Amino acid sequence: MDELDRRILDILRRDARTPNTEIAAEVGTSEGTVRNRVERLVDEGVIERFTIATRTGNLKAMVEVTVAVDVDTNDVSELMAEWKDVDFVWQVSGEEDIVLVVDAADTRAVNDLITRAREHDDVKSTKTRLILDERIS
Using CB distances below 5 to 8 A depending on partner kind, what does residue 22 bind out of a second copy, DNA, none?
DNA
Residue 83 amino acid letter: W
**Nearer to DNA (CB atom), residue 17 or residue 135:** 17
Using CB distances below 5 to 8 A depending on partner kind, what does residue 33 bind out of a second copy, DNA, none?
DNA
What minimum distance in Å lies between the beta carbon of 132 and a second copy?
5
Q: Where does residue 13 rank: exposed (0-12), middle (13-18), buried (19+ CB within 10 A)?
A: exposed
Is residue 55 at the binding interface for DNA, with CB under 7 A as the rule?
no
**Nearer to DNA (CB atom), residue 22 or residue 122:** 22
What minimum distance in Å lies between the beta carbon of 2 and DNA?
8
Is residue 35 at the binding interface for DNA, with CB under 7 A as the rule?
yes
Taking the C-alpha atoms of residue 118 and residue 89, their distance in angstroms, rounded to an integer, is 16
* Other beta carbons within 10 Å of 3: 8
Q: Where does residue 124 rank: exposed (0-12), middle (13-18), buried (19+ CB within 10 A)?
A: middle
What minimum distance in Å lies between the beta carbon of 27 and DNA?
10
Would you give the distance in Å from CA 124 to the centre of its chain? 24
The residues binding a second copy (CB under 8 A) are 1, 9, 12-17, 45-57, 60, 62, 74, 77-78, 81-83, 86-94, 99, 127-137
Residues 110, 112, 115, CA angle at the centre, nearest 5°?
110
Residue 100 amino acid letter: L
Q: Which residues bind DNA (CB under 7 A)?
A: 4, 19-22, 29-33, 35-37
